[in-house]
Amino acid sequence: MNRETFDYVIVGGGTAGCVVASRLALQSDASVLLLEAGGSDLRPMIQIPIGYARLLFAKGVNWLYETEPDPSLAGRRSFWPRGKVLGGSGSINAMVYMRGLRNDFEDWQALGNAGWGYDDVLPFFKRAEDHDDGDPEYHGRGGPIHVTDVSGDVHPLCDRYVSSCESLGFNRTADFNGAQGEGVGVYQINTRKGLRSCSANEHLRRARHRPNLTVRTHALATRVLFEGKRAVGVRYLQGDREVEVTARRQVVLSGGAINTPQLLQLSGVGDGERLQALGIETLHHSPAVGRNLQDHLAVSYFYGSTVPTLNDQLGPFLGKVRAALRYVATRRGPLAMSVNQGGGFVRSDPAQPVPNLQLYFNPVSYTQTPLSARKLLSPDPFSAFLISFNACRPTSRGELHIGSRDPRVAPVIRPNYLSTERDLEEARAGCRLLRQIAAASPLADVITEELYPGPGVVSDEELLEDFRQRADTVYHPTCTCRMGPDSREAVVDARLRAYGLDNLRIIDASVFPTVTSGNTNAPTVMVAEKGVAMMLEDLGA
């Protein structure tokens, strides 16, 4: 089998991989290969912001993962959509731009990861960002990914939501990513002139013309190739053809929190006992691969409204037509936005040292489908909205591991939700808080009734049981190849170098030491920016 040779081989053309590839390709004397298992992101439903509604179950752009039944969720499985397309999950997500709170990164550093404190990562957030009006102390201009302030375009109910939260003592904040991350307000989103702004659109597309960058789609990596403990290349499938490529300088894994540990295990890197049970020779015993899985778990409360909501705009056929015409003419309106419009980061009680709950306010409702199956363009045929929450920093830990030597078989995913008393208490506290917000004016003044869970659910036990029956993922799996100072509990060091192996780096959301307080796309971009900068520094490039 003939092997092609590149200086850098990157596995995974998702959020992080597109950043890494574009930055490496700036070296004119270095050849870069980016492998992506999915196809092109040039689809209308990817580029039109509200189009992500059509992508949750789209096989052509989605891995369509499913977890094992979880006893803490009444034995239910969770559906985990992950992007299988250039741009990865950043091409199919709801576009909320949220970096995480200062304390998240201070905690990363306190866990033994030097150089990952808030002041260390802020320059890389700014490097990645093109923000129109942000405070220059906290925001960047001219970077690849655009951040849009949509506070002037959100549904009027958002102001009622924020005012009701203020009446409960929570502060209003105009910028969750600025000086004051705690509080309630309107989420910024990643769009540019009414189109999705993500690493595929902004990083990769700018770099595609460079002759030293090769992008191969529909290329499923099946194994990292090693000589001894040194990573020297990658084997992949493209259709029925098996191909091997060699990396002169570095192999980079950017497959994300599910695919990266899966590929390592297929390559003989993981828990040796589990690998041997599948007939895989253990190259390097690394028991942390696939462990420490963290995710955000949310539940929604639905309320009927006396005033029109997005249900009334996006439900009727004529409403869809009007919204489409407005979008074509102005690139504004509900099709140019996410339905996650309002939100916040708050403390469930004053004794909490930092915000421990994230809130969402959506001026739309889907009472006939679960969180993981919302038909965003087919909402309820009546005026209603929802309020949601998730714990910012859950303490439950799950795991994933391969159950087959076949790389086309999805790994076994066990989230292990609600497995600590702290997570159970925050679930109860969050449910009580949603009720308090809905009972506060001026939001309460337009509520006709609580649709779900309904007035019959009252006690803490009933609230928790409802949470178990209806809560689901917010699509933020992380930490399965976590960074840390101890190779027995971590997979990479603070420079994102794989322990026990040479010439191999992991740069994606799997290296998070702990999940951040909020949406995970922006911190994944930051990790990619910082990771590739450290890699080039170490290589003297």
50-72: b or e for each residue (b if 16 or more CB lie within 10 Å)? bbbbbbbebeebbbebebeebeb
State the CB neighbour count (10 A cutoff) for residue 111: 18
243-262: b or e for each residue (b if 16 or more CB lie within 10 Å)? bbbbbebbbbbbbbbbbbbb
Cα–chain center distance at 483: 18
Out of 139, 284, 296, 476, the active site residue is: 476
Find, among 63, 73, 503, the residue nearest to 262 by Cα: 63
Please give the sequence-ordered ranges of beta strands (E in DSSP) within 277-349, or none if there are none: 284-285, 291-293, 297-305, 342-346
Q: Which two tokens stand for residue 284?
A: 């390097």
State the CB neighbour count (10 A cutoff) for residue 157: 24
Cα–chain center distance at 172: 25
All residues at 6 or more sequence positions from 214 whose CB lies less than 8 Å from its CB, including other chains = 6, 31, 32, 33, 34
Cα–chain center distance at 398: 17
* C-alpha to C-alpha distance for 477 and 492, rounded to whole angstroms: 18
DSSP 145-190: EEEB--TTTS-THHHHHHHHHHHTTPPB-S-TTSS--SEEEE--B-
Establish whether 209 is a catalytic residue. no
Strand partners, 360: 343, 388
| Cβ atoms of 264 and 500 closer than 8 Å | no
State the CB neighbour count (10 A cutoff) for residue 410: 18
Find, among 298, 450, 454, the residue nearest to 370 by Cα: 298
Active-site residue list: 476
